[in-house]
Amino acid sequence: MKPYDLPRGLTVEIDGPVRTVVLDRPDALNAVDADLHRALAVVWAQLAADPDARVVVLTGAGTAFSAGGDLDWITSFLDDPVARDDSLREGAQIIDELLRFPLPVVAAVNGPAVGLGCSLAVLCDILLISETAFLADPHVSVGLVAGDGGAAFWPLLTPILRSREYLFTGRRIPAAVAVELGLATRTVPPANLASEARRCAEQLADLPLEALRGTKRVVNMYLAQALSGAVQAGFAAEAETMRSAGHRERLLALRTKAGGA
Pairing state between β 55-60 and 105-109: parallel
User: What local confidence, expressed as pLDDT, does residue 191 receive?
Assistant: 98
Average pLDDT, the chain: 93
Angle at 228 between CA 53 and CA 162, to 5 degrees: 95
User: What local confidence, expressed as pLDDT, does residue 93 receive?
Assistant: 93
For 116-128, the pLDDT digits (tens) are: 999 999 999 999 9
User: What local confidence, expressed as pLDDT, does residue 150 receive?
Assistant: 82
Instruction: Give the pLDDT band (50/70/90) at residue 260.
Output: low
Higher pLDDT, 173 or 155: 173
8 Å CB contact between 116 and 144? no
User: What local confidence, expressed as pLDDT, does residue 231 receive?
Assistant: 81
Total length of the chain? 261
Query: Residue 144: is its pLDDT beyond 90?
Result: yes
This prediction has a pTM of: 0.95
Query: Residue 69: is its pLDDT beyond 60?
Result: yes
Rounded average pLDDT over 40-48: 97
Rounded average pLDDT over 47-76: 96
Instruction: Give the pLDDT band (50/70/90) at residue 1.
Output: low
For 176-188, the pLDDT digits (tens) are: 999 999 999 999 9
Cα–Cα distance for residue pair 182/92, rounded to 1 Å? 23
Residues β-bridged to residue 66? 113
Domains of the chain, CATH where assigned: 10-191 (3.90.226.10)
Rounded average pLDDT over 106-118: 97
Query: Residue 243: is its pLDDT beyond 90?
Result: yes
**Percent of the chain with pLDDT strictly greater than 70:** 98
8 Å CB contact between 193 and 113? no
For 200-231, the pLDDT digits (tens) are: 999 999 999 999 999 999 998 888 887 778 88
8 Å CB contact between 29 and 63? yes
Cα–Cα distance for residue pair 7/165, rounded to 1 Å? 36
Instruction: Give the pLDDT band (50/70/90) at residue 235.
Output: confident
For 145-158, the pLDDT digits (tens) are: 987 778 888 988 99
User: What local confidence, expressed as pLDDT, does residue 148 receive?
Assistant: 73
